[in-house]
Amino acid sequence: RRADATSPAREAGAEPARHVGGRAPEKAPTPASRKDGPQHKRREATQGASAVEASETASLEASLGAMMRRLDALDRSISEEREASKADAARMIDEIEARLTTARQPVAPEMIAGRIADIERKMGEIAGQLDTPRPLGRRGRPLATEVRDAVAEVRRRQRELEEGIAEWNAASAGELKDGPQDGPAALAVTPAEEGSGQEPSPAIAELQRETNRLRDALGSLATGRDVSELERTMQAVASDLQRARAPQELAAIAAPVELMRLQVERIAEDVADNVHARIAGEVERLAGKVDAVLSGVLSGPADQSALDGVFRELDEIRRLVASLAGPERIQSLAQGVQAISAQITQLQRDEDAGIATLKPLLEEIRGELKAPDSSRELPGALLGRFEALAQRLDGAESGSVGELIERLEGVAEKVDRVSAGGSGLDALERHVLALASRLEAPRDTDPAVARLERSMGDLLAQVTALRNGTDLEATVAQAVREAVAGSAAPLAAGGGFELLRADLAEMRANQKGADQRLQSTMEGVQSVLMRLSEQLDRTMTSSAALTTAAPQERAPVVLSSAERVSHERPAAPKTAAKPSSEPSSQNLARPNRSATSDEAGGTEASRLSDELLEPGAGRPGSGRP
Contact 315, 213 (CB under 8 A): no
CA–CA separation, 602 vs 596, rounded Å? 10
Instruction: Assess whether pLDDT exceeds 80 at residue 493.
Output: no
Instruction: Assess whether pLDDT exceeds 50 at residue 263.
Output: yes
User: Can you name the residues that pair with 432 across neighbouring β-strands?
Assistant: none
CA–CA separation, 49 vs 92, rounded Å? 64
Neighbours of 465 (CB within 10 A): 19
CA–CA separation, 104 vs 99, rounded Å? 9
Neighbours of 318 (CB within 10 A): 13
The average confidence (pLDDT) of the chain is 64
Instruction: Provide mean pLDDT across the span 295-301.
Output: 63
Contacts of residue 327, Cβ cutoff 8 Å, sequence gap at least 6 = 271, 272, 276
User: Can you name the residues that pair with 592 across neighbouring β-strands?
Assistant: none
CA–CA separation, 345 vs 351, rounded Å? 10
SS3 571: coil
pLDDT at residue number 147: 72
pLDDT at residue number 579: 39
Alpha-carbon torsion, ordered 520, 521, 525, 527, to 10 deg: 20
Residue with more model confidence, 612 or 171: 171
The identity of residue 257, as a single letter, is V
Distance, C-alpha 526 to centroid of its chain: 47
pLDDT at residue number 369: 61
The identity of residue 371, as a single letter, is A
Contacts of residue 244, Cβ cutoff 8 Å, sequence gap at least 6 = 250, 253
The identity of residue 483, as a single letter, is A
Instruction: Assess whether pLDDT exceeds 50 at residue 204.
Output: yes
Instruction: Assess whether pLDDT exceeds 70 at residue 585.
Output: no
CA–CA separation, 425 vs 461, rounded Å? 51
pLDDT in tens, 343-362: 777 777 777 776 677 677 76
pLDDT in tens, 90-129: 888 888 888 777 655 555 667 777 777 787 787 777 777 6
Q: CA nearest 209: which of 144, 159, 282?
A: 282
Instruction: Provide mean pLDDT across the span 426-447.
Output: 59
SS3 421: coil
DSSP, res 551: S
Residue with more model confidence, 134 or 332: 332
Contact 554, 618 (CB under 8 A): yes
The identity of residue 124, as a single letter, is G
pLDDT at residue number 353: 72
Assign 491 a pLDDT band (cuts: 50, 70, 90): very low
Instruction: Assess whether pLDDT exceeds 80 at residue 202.
Output: no
Give the up-direction half-sphere exposure of residue 336: CA atoms within 13 A in the CB hemisphere: 18
Maximum mean pLDDT: which of 79-83, 209-213, 378-382, 526-530? 79-83
Q: CA nearest 441: which of 546, 365, 522, 350?
A: 546
Lowest mean pLDDT among 48-62, 160-174, 194-208, 522-536: 194-208
Assign 47 a pLDDT band (cuts: 50, 70, 90): confident
pLDDT at residue number 606: 46
pLDDT at residue number 58: 86
pLDDT in tens, 597-616: 444 444 444 444 444 444 44
Contact 340, 238 (CB under 8 A): yes
pLDDT in tens, 366-403: 676 665 554 455 456 656 666 666 666 555 444 444 56
- Residues making up the chain, counted from first to last: 625
